[in-house]
Amino acid sequence: MRVRLFSAADVKIKRHIKIKGEANPYDPEWEPYFERRLGLKMAHDLKGRQQLLYLWREQNGLCPICHQKITQLTGWHSHHIVRRVDGGGDGLNNRVLLHPECHSKVHHLGISVDKLRPATGV
């Protein structure tokens, strides 16, 4: 049996970002802040990246607002269809990926977002 030792310097440091003191998860004004935090958390662990990939594939790589491709270059935000302050959950059935600009429009203009369902054959 072979045992391999590794150096402590090989372990990456993971910084945690503190929640702002005035942030209130029950206040609709703070919803974009908590969505942004969730998106960052998802991008930094394997399960979260798998969920992002699932959402991206489910949407055929398209933003449901502008119907343009979502790429690493354009960026994305994870958006809750039913806001968490209104009882929506963090499950994949309640989230979509949007371009950052489209996400901002959704929150500022009050646009409703529906999940794009892939067309199925008969």
Q: Are the CB atoms for 40 and 17 separated by under 8 Å? A: yes
Is the pTM of the predicted complex or chain greater than 0.75? no
* Dist CA 40 CA 117 (whole Å): 25
Residue at 19: amino acid letter: I
- 54-109: pLDDT as tens digits: 999 999 999 999 999 999 899 899 899 998 888 888 889 999 999 999 999 998 89
Q: Read off the tokens for 74.
A: 């354009």
Domains of the chain: 29-109 (1.10.30)
- 10-42: pLDDT as tens digits: 888 877 778 999 999 888 889 888 888 888 888
